[in-house]
Amino acid sequence: MSELALAASRSLVVDPALLEKYQFSGPRYSWYPTADRFGPQFRPLDLLRQLAKRGEEGGQNPVSVYVHLPFCDTVCYYCARDKVVTREHSRVAEYLGYLEREFATQRGALGCDEEVAQLHLGGGTPTFLSIEEMGRLMDLLRRYFLLLPGGEYSIEIDPRRIAAGTIEHLGSLGFNRLSLGVQDFDPEVQKKVNRVQSFNETARAVNAARSNGFQSVGFDLIYGLPAQSAQSVSRTLETALRLRPDRIALYNYAHLPALFIPQRRIDAAELPSPEEKICILSSAIDELMAAGYVYIGMDHFALPEDELAQTQGRGGPQRSSHGYSAHAHCDLLAFGVSAIAAVGDTYSQNHRTLEEYYACLERGELPVFRGHRLDADDVLRREIIQRLTCDFRVSFEDLNARFGIDFHDYFAEERAVLAELEDDGLIETMRDGITVTARGRLLVRVVCMAFDRYIRAARSEARYSNVI
């Protein structure tokens, strides 16, 4: 891709009228079909068979591994994750014991030494684990899998809860990418969401990561929290930019208290209005662009020298369960309570409570409670959504050749929705493909929804977060 084309592919135009029009709920498309389409018909045995198939076929790409570490010692009120809030540190040892059973069962089903090119520890709060416990977890992983040198090894950390020497130790264990929960630096906002975190705590973690050779440091920020305004988020960004994180994820807070109990502690009357949220987003993007960040896609920005930006237009980045990755799609093995795996054309999710997760492993079963086997149509639509969210473009020729279809015939039913998106300026249809315009990029989820067969059938359900 030429420099000019590359620059064009990164451009972003904030159009408040469009954002206002498309403020309806929609999925983030970490998976297609989305997790709410997974069902109990996909059994633990199905995952075992899928793993065995992978093992028998051999000679495949290395795998990605995700390990979910659910413990947190306090609750943040905006939280929508699967977590266990506890002060009982002793629970970690028990959890690691069950993780080992899960590693052993999956390794047994695979029947071969799998090479791991990517590892991500998420949570919860992975740094709830002590240095010794983290060492034990990595020993276990290395006992069952081959962690390749030079792989992408990332971990989410909570800067409020890390003992001295933790980041140095994480570096010595092989971690080279760090993602920090920051959310907002404003003391009033922090109090309202029960996450008080000083600039110094965050700065210490960033500096420790840099001096211990971490290649990339990312911040998670949230807009739409109580007491936020365009001015307060702008101050937060200014503060964050003093530390020059390599990556910034700017998430939209979705207030869904019926689904997420901690959110009931947030007073909906203190949330910024939809119009204020558009102002916040618009000025935040201006600030990020002015500071030299590149738009990667969905909620993600990166410095031009970060590998996510470097691989843009050169076969990457790829979207994964935890954002974007510079590496090509790999099968994802997942471990721990609530974790989602993607192996071949299947998805599977583990039980979401510790009790059920432990009980399955006690019985010698994989702790899968639901999943989905993709049919040919799912695979095609997944590819389109992957291309839209990563490249902002789909090529008719490529899809026709790879999937043996005629795009225009196959997607005849989608034509009316696509025409409306085109009339509104979100996409451009050309002879050879569809491109998401600079004005449409922030709304790429809306474009993806046009290709989501399941959402069409359940359009009336309002269970997703607003796209902006």
Question: Which of 125, 127, 325, 435 is in the footprint of ligand SF4 by CB under 6 A?
Answer: 125
Of the pair 192, 382, the CB lying nearest ligand SF4 is at 192
Contact characters 288-317, ligand SF4, x per CB under 6 A = ------------------------------
Shortest Å distance, C-beta 271 to ligand SF4: 17
| Contact between residue 281 and residue 14 where contact means Cβ atoms under 8 Å apart | yes
Of the pair 72, 281, the CB lying nearest ligand SF4 is at 72
Shortest Å distance, C-beta 180 to ligand SF4: 11
| Contact between residue 336 and residue 322 where contact means Cβ atoms under 8 Å apart | no
Specify which residues 333 forms β-bridges with: 65
Is residue 75 close enough to count as binding ligand SF4 by CB under 6 A? Answer: yes
DSSP 174-185: T--EEEEEEE--
Binding segment (CB under 6 A) for ligand SF4, from list 59-67, 76-84, 207-215, 240-248:
76-84
Shortest Å distance, C-beta 75 to ligand SF4: 5
Residue with tokens 């997944």, as numbered in its chain = 382
| Residue 444 tokens, joined | 């790429």
Shortest Å distance, C-beta 134 to ligand SF4: 17
Of the pair 180, 309, the CB lying nearest ligand SF4 is at 180
| Residue 207 tokens, joined | 């500096």
Of the pair 123, 316, the CB lying nearest ligand SF4 is at 123
CA 242/CA 239 separation, integer angstroms: 5
User: Before 317, cis peptide (omega within 30)?
Assistant: yes
Closest to 367 in 3D by CA, of 124, 84, 102: 102
Residues near 448 by beta carbon (within 8 Å), at least 6 away in sequence? 26, 27, 29, 32, 384, 385, 388, 389
Of the pair 76, 309, the CB lying nearest ligand SF4 is at 76
Residues near 31 by beta carbon (within 8 Å), at least 6 away in sequence? 321, 340, 342, 347
Shortest Å distance, C-beta 467 to ligand SF4: 21
State how beta strands 318-320 and 300-302 pair. Answer: unpaired
Contact characters 81-120, ligand SF4, x per CB under 6 A = x-x-------------------------------------
Residue 434 Cα distances to 107, 271, 310, 428, angstroms: 42, 36, 23, 6
At 425, which amino acid appears?
G
Question: Which of 14, 63, 69, 76 is in the footprint of ligand SF4 by CB under 6 A?
Answer: 76
Shortest Å distance, C-beta 261 to ligand SF4: 11
CA 218/CA 244 separation, integer angstroms: 9
Of the pair 33, 123, the CB lying nearest ligand SF4 is at 123
Shortest Å distance, C-beta 15 to ligand SF4: 31
Shortest Å distance, C-beta 225 to ligand SF4: 12
Of the pair 76, 285, the CB lying nearest ligand SF4 is at 76
Of the pair 125, 232, the CB lying nearest ligand SF4 is at 125
Of the pair 15, 184, the CB lying nearest ligand SF4 is at 184
DSSP 246-268: SEEEEEEP---TTT-GGGGGS-G
Of the pair 124, 272, the CB lying nearest ligand SF4 is at 124
Is residue 266 close enough to count as binding ligand SF4 by CB under 6 A? Answer: no
Is residue 158 close enough to count as binding ligand SF4 by CB under 6 A? Answer: yes
Shortest Å distance, C-beta 67 to ligand SF4: 14
| Contact between residue 180 and residue 206 where contact means Cβ atoms under 8 Å apart | yes
User: Before 124, cis peptide (omega within 30)?
Assistant: yes
Binding segment (CB under 6 A) for ligand SF4, from list 77-85, 100-108, 226-234, 302-310:
77-85
**How many positions of this chain bind ligand SF4 (CB under 6 A)?**
11
Closest to 236 in 3D by CA, of 218, 223, 226, 251: 223
Residues near 20 by beta carbon (within 8 Å), at least 6 away in sequence? 274, 275, 278
Question: Which of 124, 151, 218, 226 is in the footprint of ligand SF4 by CB under 6 A?
Answer: 124
Is residue 327 close enough to count as binding ligand SF4 by CB under 6 A? Answer: no
Binders of ligand SF4 among residues 164 to 193 (CB under 6 A) are: 181
User: Which residues sit at the interface with ligand SF4, rule CB under 6 A?
Assistant: 72, 75-76, 79, 81, 83, 123-125, 158, 181
